């Protein structure tokens, strides 16, 4: 008789606080909920499977809500503690931290356009900040063309990193 092997994988999701990137946190929590098989509760009661019993749905909804709560810092939890369902909690978090308001878009655009790399840190650190800002803008439904991203990235680099020089008209060509 063949033996069954079971693999258990543990995931750790950092608690979301206002300093964290909400979009990345949301992706990690969604992935965790999918791995646990309880992600359907994010869709709300209207999307409940018709064949599913109410008790089973309530259990999934409760487990999903508790999993999300465990991934929130105390400061964030104070803002959502009165939500009764997973869908309500998820929508409230979205409305608080994924708002697509004009002021939020302007703030993120300003962050992108004013981003400047210092002389000291590694370029990878600067690229991470640049990509994080682009990701935040994409979440706010603001898209940039690739050539604009390239120009913004190049203009954010210190002059010591730019070695480009215009071609001389006097150079001989082979």
Percentage of the residues of the chain whose pLDDT score is greater than 70: 80
**Mean pLDDT for the stretch of residues 107-121:** 85
- For the chain, the three-class secondary structure string (H helix, E strand, C coil) is CCCCCCCCCCCCCCCECCCCCHHHHHHHHHHHHHHHCCHHHHHCHHHCCCCCCHHHHHHHHHHHHHHHHHCECHHHHHHHCCCCCHHHHHHHHHHHHCCCCHHHHHHHHHHHHHCCCCCCCCHHHHHHHHHHHHHHHHHCCCCCCHHHHHHHHHHHCCHHHCCCCCCCCCCCCC
Indicate yes or no: pTM above 0.85: no
Highest mean pLDDT pick, 39-43, 44-48, 101-105: 39-43
Q: Taking 90 as the threshold, does the pLDDT of residue 53 lie above it? A: no
């Amino acid at each position: 008789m063949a033996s069954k092997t079971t693999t258990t994988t543990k995931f750790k999701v950092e608690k979301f606080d206002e300093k964290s990137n909400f979009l990345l946190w949301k992706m990690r929590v969604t992935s965790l909920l999918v791995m646990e098989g309880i992600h359907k509760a994010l869709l709300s009661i209207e999307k409940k499977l018709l064949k599913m019993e109410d008790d089973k749905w309530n259990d999934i909804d409760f487990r999903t809500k508790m999993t999300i709560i465990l991934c929130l810092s105390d400061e964030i939890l104070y803002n959502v503690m009165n939500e009764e369902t997973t869908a309500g909690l998820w929508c409230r978090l979205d409305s608080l931290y994924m708002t697509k308001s004009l002021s939020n878009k302007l703030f993120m655009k300003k962050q992108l356009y004013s981003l400047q790399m210092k002389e000291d840190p590694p370029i990878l650190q600067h690229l991470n900040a640049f990509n994080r800002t682009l990701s935040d803008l994409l979440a706010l439904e603001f898209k940039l063309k690739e050539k604009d991203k390239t120009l913004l990235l190049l203009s954010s680099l210190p002059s010591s990193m730019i070695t480009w020089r215009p071609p001389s008209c006097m150079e001989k060509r082979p």
